[in-house]
Amino acid sequence: MDNTVIELVNLTKKYGSFTAVDGLNLKISKGEIFGLLGPNGAGKSTTILTILGLTEPTSGSVQVCGINSTSYPVEVKRKIGYLPEDVGFYDNRTGLENLMFTAHLNGIPDIEATVLAEQLLEKVGLSDSLKKKTGNYSRGMRQRLGLADVLIKNPEIIVLDEPTSGIDPNGVREFLDLIVGLSREKGLTVLFSSHNLHQVQQVCDRVGIFINGKLLGVGNIQSLSQQLFNNQLFVVEVSVSQPPKINVAKVSVAQLQKILLPIHGIRKISIENDVFRIESDTDISAEIAKILINSGLILSYLHKKEYGLDDIYYQYFEGGK
């Protein structure tokens, strides 16, 4: 069964001659927490606005639950709860009043809306502040109220555009936990845009790395590593020394090469600060450990290097690729 809820096909958005979003192809499945990770100006917000039907693509198409966002924006907006970067509330009204107002706009009867609003305020941790005017809310409180505001219309999908910017670190953690909890509990699909890789790494099932309007890679962290680091994926670092009875303490690269000869797939062995770096096509860390121990050398350290989003971030965002 195809459980795609958001589908972008060759989506392109130009502003004059400038291409903000460049031929995106992407499918997001039901219940998934998908992270759109990219630096400022990458085109994240433009993509989101197109998904919501708030701006028209120059070419290509967007479908949400099988509905074309450009042709049927009103229907699509019913499916999606959207939390923009800066949520607007009526600052002279309380959190509860603001939620009631949204409920009213969405045709929810007042009695039902009151119960729902109070439940949601409790869920987002604002029960104590429901009668406070939102003008006095902190940035973190506003974002949490924004989440309640998005949820009150019971959407199938929530789209959060840089929801954590300006929130203090503790607040960020709580906010992210809340999103994961909601998605798991209600089967909500979440599209989360952020320039912060650690946050994306913390909560997202899959990530799209988005730079200059293009998706460089899409997948879970592990498969992204494979896509982006396929030339140097498996690296094992080891420290070995000779047994005490041998006078020469240090093991040479040539000696290690000879010992590891029976293992297939080794591409390169190098040494830096007495730590050997063994590059290979497949994960051979267990074989390396076994053969080294059997050789009589003393193995004091073995570490399989995993490439995470940090490395990807470094290579693509800061390495200026």
Q: Which of 3, 10, 15, 184 binds ligand ADP (CB under 6 A)?
A: 15
159 contacts ligand ADP (rule: CB under 6 A): no
Q: Which of 28, 46, 179, 297 binds ligand ADP (CB under 6 A)?
A: 46
40 contacts ligand ADP (rule: CB under 6 A): yes
Instruction: Give the range of 44-52, 65-73, 131-139, 307-315 binding ligand ADP by CB under 6 A.
Output: 44-52
Report yes or no: 49 and 80 within 8 Å, Cβ to Cβ: no
| Residue 20 contact, options ligand ADP, Mg ion, none, Cβ 5-8 Å cut-off depending on partner type | ligand ADP
Nearer to Mg ion, 234 or 316 (CB): 316
Q: Which of 21, 28, 32, 45 binds Mg ion (CB under 5 A)?
A: 45
95 contacts ligand ADP (rule: CB under 6 A): no
| Residue 15 contact, options Mg ion, ligand ADP, none, Cβ 5-8 Å cut-off depending on partner type | ligand ADP
* Residues near ligand ADP (CB under 6 A): 15, 20, 38, 40-46
* Residues near Mg ion (CB under 5 A): 44-45
